[in-house]
Structure 1
């Protein structure tokens, strides 16, 4: 096991002026499960491949433990990588696939057999050791790929969107298995995904990237409750936070015919702010209660919960708003409902130009 350090690590692809990863500074502690997350093109896979030695580092450096590996060949970095495509040898059995790297390393046959058997027990693959990959399901193939990494007993596991080829149900099951396995092994793990739900449910900490720049690194709970900027606020959470740039007046901002009070210290010197509120902070209220009118345009029914998407019209223009409601009694399309704010303390404010969080 080992720590991992990115020290102003930068990667620029030839022919492009904008860095794919720009001055990345990130410390990953020994035994930590860190998730790199962001939209397509954010630089998360490039950052992982830089750590693996599969991408050059144009500026800065990367260390594993107390060793600078910036110029070290991939095979000498003591890492094991699990790819999106599984990358199994189709002509080999499960056991041979899992033990192949150990054989190349010259490990004795009995040692290889023992390590493969132990990894198979961890991954519930013991009954399938004599099968070829074509005889396995997608989830089983992914476990074989993980087993191949485990038997090498590396200092760091690297996982590049390993669940993206699985169906929705199997993804949920497998991500729980990966998180439990990492907890059991205690190996430092860097995991890349574009799926923020996956990131929030697996990582000890989550690092959010956008356009090659690290936006925030924190625990899933802190990312959700105190996003550092409007991008993180919108990206983290499913569905994302409601965001709208609204004028500041009368000690608050106006949403429809409701004035939501905000801290004067946060909006000092600003004529408008980017106002953010989570769908669960809003709720349906009675016609005589304090709130704003919402015209329902879409209802997503998810069983226990439902999400109502609609528009709010007022003197500040039209805003789109999403509200979480009881899935048993959701409103109808085209209906006008009244919506209130559960807790003004759960309102988020961001600078209208930079998007940075405004301290209350």
Structure 2
């Protein structure tokens, strides 16, 4: 016997409350950005799980030469060392002496970096200058767990060194341009950009901000803050806005999950799917529009499985009755 879901927004109603957030949580200042660092180093102290000296011998030979120790590449072929790529991100305004987390990944045929120690490795920026130096014991995670459950084994040729890099040079950052700053939205959106500019102008009771495009808002620095930029920036960061959320549905068929953002509305339709007959009649009971939220809640109440719900949403998307972007993973 088929089950019928008639959605008139009386069966189940979800009230959508707009989320108020700080500008700090959805945007950054132009010029205040992270930079990527990288270098090539040697991990030593491995228990026979290294490269075997094929790749790292020349690097080790040069290292010993710098210490005044005459040694050839053939003399230092060992399974206890591994050639690795070392990477780190340096945030804006980080100063000399501060530390960064480091990721270490094997370049050669090492089987594991477990219990190894990274030898002092210079980390370069895109301009070729050294900005940090990395060194320290490599962590590859906790111990292997023996269980009847099919758990994924640890990946031992990639490791992590918390606070393993010491900054030697600050990367210059400049967020002021022509007596103004620019706010960059992390998720560009025309409506959100306009709302941010409006909120800033209302806060300072002056037309300081202008939305330039969906991702950037230009803000003039008032004379009162000409010598106190940090205070001005902190006030802007704490201003609250309601970001606009585009209607979007993301379906993951592998995990059986459906994620939807924004007020995803649907048009009138009637669909027969397996044991379900779904009928949408907008405005017949009250004057509200049917949404994906209402549809999913009603289907779950009738015992629909995640696979049923995903299949129904896919069919509705093909029929063109969902007013949103649908992404299937």
Question: If the TM-score is normalised by the length of the shorter chain, which range does it land in?
Answer: under 0.3
**Bigger Cα Rg:** 2
Q: Which has the higher contact order (CA 8 A, sep 6+)?
A: 2
Structure with more helix by fraction: 1
- TM value normalised by structure 2: 0.28
- TM value normalised by structure 1: 0.26
